[in-house]
Amino acid sequence: MPNFMLAYHGGKMPESPEEGAEHMTKWEAWAEGLGDSLVNRGTPLGKSKSVTTTSTTEGGGNNPMMGYSILKADNLDTAVKMVESSPHVNYGGTMVVAQMMEM
């Protein structure tokens, strides 16, 4: 069964510590609901820069990655279905789901 990287983008920042804790409680419940399919919970990401051969851009570009997780699923469509209920998506963010290729 292949692994899929979930790249978290955007979403609003919590307006209070209580709102942040509520969001994390929802995320933890979603992650627990995925069971063994969530093979790596990943981590939130901090400041970033985009690097090309001609420049380095502060902030990771126009849609910086905010975090990642690794999910195991039968196929891309199944992985997408599992991600559709993510609190990150419901909090105004987007998630890119990409199959991790075996090398």
The candidate with the shortest Cα–Cα distance to 65, out of 95, 23, 99, is: 95
Q: Which two tokens stand for residue 64?
A: 């910086």
For the domain bounded by 3-99, which CATH number is listed? 3.30.70.1060
> Domain boundaries in the chain?
3-99
Q: How distant, in Å, are the alpha carbons of 12, 42, 90, 99 from that of 23? A: 11, 16, 10, 27
Q: Residue 94 pLDDT more than 90? A: yes
User: Residue 47 and residue 25: Cα distance in Å, rounded?
Assistant: 24
Amino acid at residue number 44? P
**Mean pLDDT for the chain overall:** 92
pTM of the model: 0.86
Q: Residue 61 pLDDT more than 80? A: no
pLDDT at res. 32: 96
The candidate with the shortest Cα–Cα distance to 81, out of 67, 95, 63, is: 95
pLDDT at res. 34: 96
Q: What pLDDT band is residue 73 in, cutting at 50, 70 and 90?
A: very high
Q: What pLDDT band is residue 59 in, cutting at 50, 70 and 90?
A: confident
How much of the chain exceeds pLDDT 90, in percent? 68
